[in-house]
Amino acid sequence: MRYFIHLSFNGTNYHGWQIQKNAPGVQAFVQEALSRILGNATAVTGCGRTDAGVHARDFRAHFNYSDNPLDCDLLTYKVNAILPQDIHINGIFPVPENLHARFHATGRTYRYFIRTTKEPFLKEFSAAPGTYADKLPDMELMNHAAALLVGTHDFTSFAKLHSTTKTNICTVTEAFWFTTVPEFAIEPLWVFQVTANRFLRDMVRCMVGTLLEIGKKKKPVEWILQLITEKNRSFAGYSVPAEGLFLWEVTYDTFKQ
């Protein structure tokens, strides 16, 4: 029987979701905890990779278990008791045998958070003011530019070089900036939200860096179209730090949980 795991993690201390040879990955901790409780080696497949230091509010994974049906609430409790404090299982539930956490995900939403001032409570989960220098960028310009990212394009200019990905074509369904003020924040956070069917390595962080260049009026809005046409990473903006990036939501057409 196949089960889905809904989890969240603070990526600060990890080199992404995926198992690494010489560095900690979230996947290894989840697999180890499940295997220990279930009494046999249990492979866990995630909905995708994440870069080192990137967080996940909504991450999905699946595993198979062939014995008696599991008490999912009890299993969730036991796994959380073993996992580090920065990894939390929100729920485990049965799904159809053929449902795949990665290949059947139809949408992924990322959010990138930027502090607009010194924030003692948000340092670990948002990029520093230095990300955009001393002067706030023009959000209206950045939103005009972000709108040009929407659609099905070759995002080679926004992908990390030397990637083994077979295709760099992705379909972006939304891309925009907004502000939000958490209760414990001093000033509003600037947030970039982007949703697509798939993402390339470093793609969101490069998008943010590129849009900030436009917001600082170093480049025109139309630069986005040029980058899409050029298909050359060296032409795009810088890649912003990982700590401000969250995998915010993963969606599936077949179910909502």
* CA dist 178 → 42, 140, 185 (Å): 41, 10, 16
Chain segment 41-96, per-residue pLDDT in tens: 999 999 999 989 999 999 999 999 988 899 999 999 999 999 999 999 999 999 99
Residue 167 placed within a domain: yes
In a domain, 257, yes or no: no
- pLDDT, one tens digit per residue, over 16-42 is 999 888 889 999 999 999 999 999 999
CATH of the domain at 21: 3.30.70.580
Q: Which of 51, 58, 71, 134 is catalytic?
A: 51
Task: Tell whether the model's pLDDT for residue 177 goes beyond 50.
Answer: yes
d(CA 257, CA 254): 10
| Catalytic (active site) residue 51 | yes
Do residue 198 and residue 216 come from a single domain?
A: yes
Same domain, 125 and 46: no
pTM, 2 dp: 0.92
**Residues whose CB is less than 8 angstroms from the CB of residue 6 and which lie 6 or more positions away in sequence, other chains included:** 58, 59, 60, 89, 90, 91, 92, 93, 257
Sign of the four-CA dihedral 160, 161, 165, 171: positive
Please check whether residue 165 lies inside any domain of the structure. yes
User: What is d(CA 132, CA 140) in angstroms, rounded to the nearest whole number?
Assistant: 15
Which range of residues forms the domain containing residue 30? 2-103
Report how many domains make up the chain: 2
- Whether 50 and 120 share a structural domain: no
State whether 165 and 91 are in the same domain: no
Give the CATH number for residue 208.
3.30.70.660
Answer yes or no: do 66 and 169 share one domain: no
188-235 tens-digit pLDDT: 889 999 999 999 999 999 999 999 999 999 999 999 999 999 999 988
Domain match, 205 and 137 both = yes
The per-residue DSSP string of 77-103 comes to HHHHHHS-TTEEEEEEEEE-TT--TTT
